[in-house]
Structure formats: C-alpha cells, structure tokens
Amino acid sequence: MPRREWDEECDVLVVGSGAGGMTAALVAADLHASVVLIEKGRNFGGTSATSGAVLWIPGSHLARAGGHDDDPDDATRYIKAIAGSDADEALIRTFVEKGAEMLEYVSRNSEVEYVSIQYPDYQSEVPGARPGWRSHDIVPLDGRKLGADLEYLEPPHPSNMLFGRFVWNTIDASMLVTRKPGWISAMARTLWRYYSDVGQRLKSSRSRYLTGGNALIGRLKLSIDRRGVRIRRETSLVDIVRDGGDVVGAIIEKGGRKSAIRVKKGLILAAGGFERSATLRPRYLPQSPNPDWSGSQGNNQGEVLELAKSLGAATERLDSAWWAPAVHVKTEPRSRPLFLERALPGSIIVNQAGERYFNEAVDYHMAGKAMVENDQPGAGTSPSFILFDAGFKWRYPMGPVLPMMPLWMHSPAVRELVFVARDWDEMADKIGVDRSKLRATMARFNANAAKGSDPDFQRGDSLYNRIYGDPKIEGNPNLLPLDKAPYYALAIYPGDIGTNGGLVTDGNANVLDGEGRPIGNLYAAGNITASVMGRSYPGGGATIGPAMTFGYLAARHAMGAN
C-alpha cells in the first residue's frame, strides 16, 4: 500500500487491552516506540480484568527476596512432565527464564505491584513442583486513581466476589469460603469497605477497592497513561496488510468508519481466545460446544485468530481450553466456574450413571478436563451433578447458591437450578440417574469419608487438595459424609475460563507460518496463542504469567531489544 494511502502510522500496534497487550504497550513505549493500543469492547481489560490476576512466575526476584529460591531446571522439568509432548521444551525454558525478567521489569518500572505467596503448584506431587512462592498475588489498588476511566474497566467476574457483588481480597476470601478463624471479621471488613464508600454508592454499584484482575489492569492502565499511550476503545482490527510477506499495516474500524494504519515495527495480537464464539466453539471444541458454558467475558469471539490464520499463520491445539466445571445461571451473561467449592467437605460429583469418576478436589482445569475426557454413552459427564447436603449448604458456597441463606431468598433463576430431595432415591429420580447406583456410590463415599479416606480417587491426599479444604475438619479437610437431609444437586458443565490453543509462536513471540518460519512483524501473546503450557495448567496464574511474559518479549523483539 503506497504511503499516501495510510491514515496514520505507528511503530507498534497492539490489539487487545488485557494483561498481555498492556504489558506489550508499556514495554514498547519504554523503548521509545509510538504505540497504538486498540480494544474492540466498550470496556478495557479483557478477560484479565475479570480474573484473579494471580501470576505464575518461577524463580522471581520477589520470591528470592523472601528467602524462597527456585531452580529453573526444576520449573522446566515440572512443566514438561505435566505437559508431555504437547509443549516445546525450548519455549518452556524461554518462559521460565524470561518470566522472572519480565516481572522484575514491570515491578521496577511501572505501577504493577505483586507479592509472592505460599500457594502450591496445582500438581504438587509431580517432580519439580513447589509448595509455594511461584504464584504471585496483585496488591489492591484504590480505584479513585483511575478517575473517570473506572467506569470503563471491565468488572470482576461474580465468582470472584462475595455474594457475587462485594469485592474481597485473597486473604479475606480464603477465610470466608472455608470459615477459617477470623471469617466474621473478614466479612465485616468486606461489607464495610463497600458500604462506607458513600460517595461511590450514590453514583454506582461498582467498588473503588480494586483487587485481582481489576487491580492488575488498573495498575497497567496507570502505567501506560504515564507513557502517553491511550486505549482506543470500541475499535476493531478488521484486516492485516502485508508487503513481501511482512506485516506493514492494518485496517481498523471504529463506529463503522475504517482507517488504515501503517505499522513500522510490530503488530502484536493479544485479543484473547474464541471461547464465546457461537461459530468457532462448536467447530473447535465439540466436546464443549456451548459458549454459554464459558466463564470468560463475551468479547472473545476469535475473529483476530481467524484473520491471522487467513495470512497462513500456523495453529495448534484448537481443541483445548483452560477447563473448569461450570454452572450457568440463565440470567447471567457467562457461567460461574466452580474454582474451589468442589474441594470443600460434604460434596461429591457424579456422572449420569450416578457414579464418581475423579477426585473432586483437583484444580479446576484438571476437573474440567476430567469432564471432557470421561464423557461416554451411558455414563455421560455433560452435564454431571454436584451433590451436597444440608450441612454443606449451611456452611459453604456452591456456585450461585449462598451459605446461611434459605433457597427462597435466592433469585428465581438460581432456585430453578437446584434439585432438592429428602433421600438419595428421590435425588436419583430428580437428576435422572439409576437409584441403586447412586445409593451404592453414596454408601461407599460416606463410609470412607467418615474414616477420612478416599481409596478410589485420593481426595485430600495432595497439598493442593488441602489448600481449599476446611482446616476445622480433623483428619482429612476435604471429606465429610453427606448425611444431613435435605440433599441438594446442581447440574454442571465442562466450561472454561478461556481457550489455550491458537497461533504458534516462537521464543520472541513471533507468529509462525505453516513451515515454521516467523511472519515478519507479526507477534502474539495470551490466549490467542497455543499456550507454552500445552494442555496443562501448572499453577495459579499460569495463564496471565505467560501472557505478560510473551507480551514483554514481543515488544522487545519488535523494537530490536531482544
């Protein structure tokens, strides 16, 4: 395209305002690039803003400062062990080495502030795993610093808030969910923060106390603001322009008006996955075809992925996602993943034959993956059913079902999801499973739970299992018999928090073509890419950690700094 036909030009164009895209914009600006950052949605922050924003980075300077050294070889070995042949060892090594570099960079050169936490790797029994200090928690942020931009920050997911409404921090959330000592004070703090902010309550239901993904995106937004990079909201990428094989520009659209932008150094795609697409999800994820089962925000439609594919970009593992068992409330725009409720004592999951088929206390990705892989005729797992008794119902949350609150006080949309029965035969009839099989399943589970053991699936044996157990339960914090009527059940589906298959990239975050060659000036980071983790999920923050790392590497390579 001749120069006179460009409407504007920049060094780096970033597509998507999640953590990966905003990190790329920040780093490129520090390298003296002129940066344009576009976001197709009304709000900025993408899926990152709705997440917990935990960051999985082995061997960080923050962990070392606390006396918790790590070994890059161990981290690489751990990822490789759980990812198997689906992941590239050289790319894993790049992430392990450069992830720590990225975190140190943003910690010292931006408003981003993390702390290393004692949170175990998800498969803590695998060689190379660590009992903590690879996951990092974002420091909360006062939303008043964002000014008017707070209105356009993508809100948190209801699953990440108390009662689906009140923002909480990680420590208070842990206390409240498991009723640890101090939980009443934690609830009081959470409610006081919200209702004492009278000025904000008169204007909006949004909280100005930002935690999790809102805190991370808010901090990144403040950082790019200081570098003069603004987010062009409601602006879409509609075409990519190449010259001689290299990307040289893009066509963007806002309000129905298209414009051509010359891109001199790099086009960085950080637009998320395709999990909310009614077209692409059934095509690529036939085992979980309904976009309503996803817990992700609605803008992830995959059109940027398809655009890159049309250029000849290679893809891998499009049938893979960051899985999570999910409950869908029809009045809500996305499902509620069951991140931790499954580990609490007094609940189990059964398939359509009325039988257990996995350890309910594993991490959400492993749980969702079990649902996908065990779906068989006569023993279907989509849906499965999570069962709990009256004791559980009083003490703990279960998705949209709140503790200490009678069902009649829940919304009609939630009430219609809940099966209630006086005994297991009645429950079997209501959920459509064989009476004798469900009775046998419950009898075996209850007998073993009373002894604090699970010989069938080893629930409660691993360090990760126990992190979300109830420490007040003697013996095994993840097990209690279900023996207090009435009994309850919810249908759960193989949902997700995003796709993790997509564009193939190298250690510089360059997008590769079908022959394994870099497409000049084209980069990608985050859920639009085939994850460095393969189909595995090593620990809390293993989505955002690589997204920010490869966003960092993309900007550096585009500007000639790698």
Contacts of 433 (CB under 8 A, 6+ apart): 350, 352, 353, 354, 385
Averaged over 151-178, what is the pLDDT? 77
* Whether the predicted pLDDT of 171 surpasses 60: yes
Query: In this structure, what token pair is assigned to residue 357?
Result: 């088929």
Question: What is the rounded CA–CA span in Å between residue 64 and residue 54?
Answer: 18
CA-atom Rg of the chain in angstroms: 23
The amino acid at residue 11 is D
* Whether the predicted pLDDT of 168 surpasses 80: no
Residue 539's pLDDT is what? Answer: 96
Query: In this structure, what token pair is assigned to residue 442?
Result: 């419950």
* Whether the predicted pLDDT of 3 surpasses 70: no
Query: What is the distance, to the nearest Å, from the Cα of residue 208 to the centroid of all Cα atoms in its chain?
Result: 22
Averaged pLDDT score across all residues of the chain: 94
Tally helices (H) and strands (E) across the chain: 18, 23
Averaged over 97-120, what is the pLDDT? 97
The answer to whether residues 427 and 418 touch, using CB atoms and an 8 Å cutoff, is no
For residue 2, name the pLDDT band (cuts at 50, 70, 90).
Answer: very low
Query: In this structure, what token pair is assigned to residue 323?
Result: 């899985």
Averaged over 444-467, what is the pLDDT? 96
Q: Exposure string (b/e) for 63-79, b if CB count within 10 Å is 16 or more?
A: beeeebebeeebbbbbb
Contacts of 113 (CB under 8 A, 6+ apart): 107, 138, 139, 219
Residue 4's pLDDT is what? Answer: 52
- Tell which wins on pLDDT, 205 or 112: 112
Q: What's phi and psi for 499, nearest 5 deg?
A: -85, 155
Averaged over 275-282, what is the pLDDT? 98
Residue 299's pLDDT is what? Answer: 96
Q: What percent of the chain has pLDDT over 70?
A: 98
Query: In this structure, what token pair is assigned to residue 466?
Result: 């126990």
Query: In this structure, what token pair is assigned to residue 166?
Result: 């009140």
Residue 510's pLDDT is what? Answer: 98
In terms of residues, how long is the chain? 562
Question: What is the rounded CA–CA span in Å between residue 518 and residue 515?
Answer: 9
The answer to whether residues 141 and 215 touch, using CB atoms and an 8 Å cutoff, is yes
* Whether the predicted pLDDT of 449 surpasses 80: yes
Tell me if the bond preceding 383 is cis, omega within 30° of 0: yes
Averaged over 378-407, what is the pLDDT? 95
Q: What does DSSP assign to residue 486?
A: S
| Residue from 222, 308, 297 nearest 269 by CA | 308
- Tell which wins on pLDDT, 318 or 2: 318
Contacts of 281 (CB under 8 A, 6+ apart): 274, 275, 288, 289, 290, 291, 294
* Whether the predicted pLDDT of 471 surpasses 60: yes
Residue 160's pLDDT is what? Answer: 74
Q: Exposure string (b/e) for 521-549, b if CB count within 10 Å is 16 or more?
A: bbbbbbbbbbbbbbbbbbbbbbbbbbbbb
Query: In this structure, what token pair is assigned to residue 252?
Result: 């963007």
Residue 327's pLDDT is what? Answer: 97
- Tell which wins on pLDDT, 404 or 167: 404
For residue 1, name the pLDDT band (cuts at 50, 70, 90).
Answer: very low
Question: Which residues in 308-406 belong to E strands, given as ranges?
Answer: 315-316, 321-327, 336-337, 347-350, 384-389
Q: What does DSSP assign to residue 518?
A: E
Query: In this structure, what token pair is assigned to residue 409?
Result: 């006080």
216-273: pLDDT as tens digits: 999 999 999 999 999 999 999 999 999 989 999 999 999 999 999 999 999 999 999 9
Q: What's phi and psi for 149, nearest 5 deg?
A: -65, -20
Taking phi over 0 as left and psi of -120 to 50 as alpha, with beta for the rest, 422 belongs to alpha
* Whether the predicted pLDDT of 447 surpasses 80: yes
Contacts of 544 (CB under 8 A, 6+ apart): 19, 20, 48, 51, 53, 54, 55, 56, 216
Averaged over 116-144, what is the pLDDT? 95
For residue 175, name the pLDDT band (cuts at 50, 70, 90).
Answer: confident
Question: What is the rounded CA–CA span in Å between residue 237 and residue 510?
Answer: 18
Question: What is the rounded CA–CA span in Å between residue 264 and residue 428?
Answer: 63
| Residue from 544, 549, 553 nearest 272 by CA | 544
Residue 99's pLDDT is what? Answer: 98
Q: What's phi and psi for 496, nearest 5 deg?
A: -165, 170
pTM over 0.85: yes
**Secondary structure class of 176 (helix, strand, coil):** helix
Q: What does DSSP assign to residue 376?
A: B
| Residue from 310, 271, 149 nearest 222 by CA | 149
488 has which bridge partners?
388, 420
475-489: pLDDT as tens digits: 999 999 999 999 999
Mind listing the domains of the chain with CATH numbers? 1-154+211-320+500-562 (3.50.50.60), 324-496 (3.90.700.10)
